[in-house]
Homo-oligomer: A and B are copies of this chain.
């Protein structure tokens, strides 16, 4: 069982949002920020901000707010962004390519160490400094190269089998971009970015709009 389960997904999501606002604030040269301002930016209440942050210790001084630089650095630490994570991407199609070269990805500590594909035509092709590897080598490579995060960027019908391979390879964190739910053991954390779902929400709104 992981200790992270004790912190709700919604809290982690807000911590990420607070951090992105703090990073913007830092650039403007602001030195302090109130829980009120963080709340407004994050679409929540100042009580919620204080509660979210209190889980991880005591920050800020009553009446003075939070020190931007200190809180930014603490949040980076809490979110695991002061460490570097080794990422392997399975699926060397356009989505995989976009992800591997996503600006700000390496900056945040996510280093794409390897890209895999099952299609012979893709294996061996070059992506900047990476060469697409044979998906059959994943398990062997993973134990030698210690991948932290596996990214699924393959079509839906292959997603579960790739997830199974990642789990078998000892990877405990999986990001799934296929528009299906994948099933993993309880000691593996997974997030699905389902773009179809998001576009359908727009389509629903357009179709049901009364103007």
Contact = CB atoms under 8 A, between A and B. Distances in A.
Interface of A: 2-4, 7, 9, 12-13, 15-17, 19-20, 41, 43, 78-81, 83, 85, 94-95, 97-99, 101-105, 108-110, 148-149, 155, 172-175, 179-181, 187, 189, 191, 193-211
Closest 4 CB pairs of A and B: A80-B207, A80-B203, A4-B208, A98-B98
B16 A211 contact: no
Given A20-B179, A148-B206, A200 B85 contact: no
Contacts of A209: 2-4, 172
Contact of A199 (B2, B175, B198): B175
Given A20-B196, A108-B196, A200-B81, A205 B102 contact: no
B108 A199 contact: yes
B15 A203 contact: no
Given A180-B20, A200-B12, A201-B16, A206 B173 contact: yes
A191 B202 contact: yes
B198 A173 contact: no
Nearest to A150: B202
Given A80-B200, A80-B208, 12 more contacts: A2-B211, A17-B197, A19-B200, A41-B181, A79-B203, A80-B204, A97-B98, A99-B195, A108-B203, A149-B203, A149-B206, A191-B202
